[in-house]
Amino acid sequence: MTYQPGLFNGKRALVAGATQGIGATIANHLAALGAQVTALGLGAGDGTLQAAVQVRQADVTSSADLDAALADIGELDIVFNCAGIIKRGAEHDLEVFEQVLAVNLTGTMRVCTAARERLKARRGCIVNTASMLSFFGGGLVPGYSASKGGVAQLTKSLAIAYAPDGIRVNAVAPGWIATPLTQALQDDPARAGPILARTPLARWGTPDDVARAAMFLCTPAAAFMTGVVLPVDGGYMVS
């Protein structure tokens, strides 16, 4: 942990898509820094969430699910949108394409909309999860690329729309991060080799790398930042 202990004492945080991977790591970081954290997800998780994190079942494609999950939460300080899916190769099928957009893009908007009034009361902040593929496409993942590009532009649009409410809206754009979503690539030297060769820091990123950068966007040090899409990619996009 690289932040002052107790940094988020007294803060209420919501993390959507928090039962595994980057979302779970972010939820754990928030809790370790003192926040009261509610994690939303579709299952019980992968066993990595700290006991202090409250887990609630909710599908970000369902407004009814979100309403039920947030019914007893009056105010929020921090919201993270980490819910996301990827269907490599299958996304050229229109039904699959639409499913990916429904989770990654529309789900992000749905959570932001549900949280807006709760954040307004505390002049809170939102951090969305974009991707390096927000900036360029992927032949096997047109739905994922389009949805994450949409998240980047949604972040900028909501930063403008929510500013009068005192709400800051930013995003992180992870690159090649070692999670279950990238496991097949990690296990294939023929594909992993070119990725690492192009990445100046010459390694896969970790969920901790993403979480530490994302925490910054919630701190007072970032009080004059909104509409930012922050790459966390080991320099891949600039190489």
Query: How many whole angstroms separate alpha carbon 237 and alpha carbon 115?
Result: 32
Residue 18's CB is within 10 A of a number of other CB atoms, namely 30
Q: What HEC string does 155-222 produce?
A: HHHHHHHHHHHCCEEEEEEECCECCHHHHHHHCCHHHHHHHHHHCCCCCCECHHHHHHHHHHCCCHHH
Residues designated as active site = 144
Q: At what angle do helices 63-70 and 107-120 cross, to 10 degrees?
A: 30
With tokens 């970081």, the residue in question is: 29
Nearest to 179 by CA among 123, 146, 147, 131: 131
Beta bridge partners of 170: 127
